[in-house]
Structure 1
Amino acid sequence: MIKGAATPLFLCKEVVVFKSVYMAMLLSFSMLLTACSEDKMPVVHLQGETMGTTYNVKYVVPEGSEPQSDLKKKIDKRLNEINALMSTYDTGSELSRFNQNRYTKPYPVSAETLTVVNEALRLGDMSNNVLDVTVGPLVNLWGFGPNKRPETVPTEQQINDVRAYVGLDKISTTDTALLKSHPMVYVDLSTIAKGYGVDQVAAILEQQEIHNFLVEIGGEMRLKGHRGNGDEWLVAIEKPVTTERAVQKILSVGTNAIATSGDYRNYYEQEGKRYSHLIDPRTGKPITHSLVAVTVVSPSSMTADGLATALMVMGWDEARSLAEKEDLAVLLIRKTDDGFEEYVSPAFEQVVDVRN
């Protein structure tokens, strides 16, 4: 049971719980709050590792479906294909080879990589370049990448030196290639690639005539239909505090994807100042605003994944403005002197059923 959760609330439901709003990590499925009534239809749970994290797939078994071992092989194969294209940890991946390339001429890449990059560019344009898949060098500079955390915070000169090769204006695409305008440009699709993976796994399930499922990779989720006893899937969003594991909201999102982002867990303090892991590419510095958590619901997990990060970096006012302008289904939570304040966009109210 999740600490701080009200037990009666979950007696006859299965609730998927986001463990950390920062990476939207799920609690392990062993900690799902299961229903008191048994499933009327058989449900399969597949799990594994991918993209430096884990995946979970639950689906109601239709008549005549293929053995679950065969389906898992298809899922693993598909996720391995995506990882081989877009991983920044695999030095031999297609994206890593592009990043290692120091030339500014067109670099041929797969149609899949172009699909994800083009969506990142579209969302970057929508968010006034706040979603920036070239921001990785700044993240590393501030000590949130694979490098050791710096003993002192970066100087303005160091920040400006790195910003010289950060920015969406420094990458572009053709029908067959990815280009960089500066030899040091480094593209990291981690803010959107997991969502793409979720969408691809969902496509595999639908090709197998599986229409009641939950797919999750590293906390990014897509849901469709119902669980084994006919009840809808429910998702619990964690309260954005570090002192306990408590539920902020329980949501029914229908046939949609859901993604969250936040900054209340991944940060460090130096000389009494707090530094978030989320870097605003417009300043080259960690965010300092009061917005602590963002939840986005969208038909596409890839889109929800990218937007959650963009809105979190933007802050309360900008995020609200963009949500209303673009008709985005968004839940924002900010810290106030009295606790927390929530904003629910009109689109969110239309597509999401809040259960508490």
Structure 2
Amino acid sequence: MGTSWSARIVDAPPDSAMAIEAVLNRVIAQMSNWEADSAISRFNAAPVGKWMALPADMMTVLRAGLYMARLSGGAFDPAVGRLVARWGFGPDGLTGLSAAPNHPAPWTAIEVEGDRARRTADVTLDFSGIAKGFAVDAVAMALHDLGATHFLVEIGGELRGQGVKPDLQPWWVDVEAPPGLFLPTLRIALCGLSVATSGDYRNFREVDGTRLSHSIDPKTGAPIANDVASVTVLHESAMLADAWATAIMILGQDRGMALATRQGIAACLMQRTASGGQEYMTPALAAMLE
């Protein structure tokens, strides 16, 4: 996934590291656009209209992605791969901008039936906004199955805490403000909770002095330009926290936080302003911090 992982486990069961790596290898084999023989790469290369049976984990992520696409009005889109590639954030890097794909809602060109799926138009799946979260959940489940009850799992900045530390303190996690924004650090306790952050300050390119975020708005076909620096979401599911952070990031402060508020999502948005930065919280998150 182009990132690192770590796990802190109290009284770690034997073979914990092997179990974690087996989970991650399975996720990569199914959902990595960087692996030519992965299930997602083979699906994207299949002829339009051809049904393909998908592995169980990949189908779980696809169904969750389509659910989030419907809920967010297409802001989160698991079939945004063509647009990601167009702006140089795919496996092939920057190859020169071509004409924008003429499909305003790529996710609507994905059909699912049982354990199989197909593309009805030339769109491609890209799970970069949800797969890391799924992997965190899958690792947590693998550790639980081994008998671990107290642990903190982290993959590329997405985390899940279960139980408590040896000193009986919760797994405290600090969510720092993006560089250049002088906002207070958000400290949260992960006890049976996951946290995911989407931001524009780690994966971006600058063109003629303009920062191009890796977060692509499917409606415009271009990187977002809404001054949102980061979005952090707490959820029982790391997969959904990951997807929600992406959706809110793309929708922006007004629409994104309004949707999160209606859905009872605990979210924090940090926005760039002329004076430095502004922080917004949903009522669900504010209640958790009281």
Verify same fold: TM over 0.5.
Answer: yes
- Counterpart of 2:126, as a letter, is D
Q: Does 1:202 align with 2:140?
A: yes
Of the two, which has the highest radius of gyration?
Answer: 1
- Determine which of 177, 193, 204 is the counterpart of 1:239: 177
What is aligned with 1:346? 283
In the alignment, what sits opposite 1:167? 106
Q: How does 1:280-295 map to 2 (within 5 A)?
A: 280-295=217-232
Structure 2 counterpart of 1:72, one-letter code: A
Which residue number in structure 2 is paired with residue 56 of structure 1? 6
CA–CA separation in structure 2 for the residues paired with 1:335 and 1:324: 21
- 2:185 alignment partner, SS class: strand
Structure 2 residue 69 is matched with structure 1 residue 132: no
Instruction: Indicate conservation of the 8 Å contact 1:258/1:298, yes or no.
Output: yes
**1: CA distance, partners of 2:103 / 2:13:** 52
**Separation in 2, partners of 1:236, 1:351:** 15
Q: CA deviation at 1:170?
A: 0.5
Aligned partners of 1:163 and 1:284 also within 8 Å: no
Q: Pairwise mapping of residues 74-85 of structure 1 onto structure 2 (< 5 A)?
A: 74-85=19-30
Specify which structure has the bigger relative contact order, considering alpha-carbon pairs within 8 angstroms and separated by 6 or more residues.
1
Quick check: 2:181–2:272 contact (8 Å CA) kept in 1? no
CA distance in 1 between partners of 2:198 and 2:244 (Å): 9
Distance 1:84 1:143 in 2: 23
Cα shift at 1:94: 1.3
How far apart are the structure 1 equivalents of 2:135 and 2:211? 33
Q: Does 1:256 align with 2:201?
A: no
In 2, Cα distance between equivalents of 1:281 and 1:307: 15
- Report deviation, 1:255: 1.8
Paired letter, 1:205: L
Matches of residues 208-223 of structure 1 in structure 2 within 5 Å? 208-223=146-161
Check conservation: 2:104, 2:218, Cα contact below 8 A.
no
**How many angstroms apart in 2 are the aligned matches of 1:326 and 1:276?**
26
Give the Cα separation in 2 of the matches to 1:207 and 1:125.
33
For the 8 Å contact 2:13–2:147, the answer to whether it is kept is no
Write the letter of the residue equivalent to 1:136.
Answer: G
Match of 1:142 in 2: 87
Deviations 1:99-151 (A, max 9, x none): 11123121111222111100000011111111112212212212233335366
1:337 aligned partner: 274
* Shift of residue 166, structure 1, vs aligned partner: 6.0
For 1:279 and 1:87, locate their aligned partners in 2 and report how far apart those are by CA, in whole Å.
18
Specify the alignment match of 2:118 in structure 1. Answer: 179
Per-residue CA deviation, residues 226-272 of structure 1 (Å, 9 max, x unaligned), is 1121111111112212599x973222233200000111343333334
Relative to structure 1, is the Cα distance of residues 149 and 80 closer, same or farther in structure 2, using a 3 angstrom cutoff? closer
Which ranges of structure 2 fall in alignment gaps of 5 or more residues? none
1:165 offset after TM fit, Å? Answer: 8.3
SS at match of 1:268: strand
Q: State the 1:345 CA deviation.
A: 1.0
Task: Report if the CA contact (8 A) 2:271-2:279 is conserved.
Answer: yes
CA RMSD of aligned residues (A): 2.2
Change (3 A) 1:150 1:100: closer
Q: Give 5+ residue unaligned stretches, structure 1.
A: 1-50
1:327 corresponds to:
264
**Identity level (%):** 36
TM-score under structure 1 normalisation? Answer: 0.76
Q: How many residues align?
A: 290
Tell me what 2:213 maps to: 276
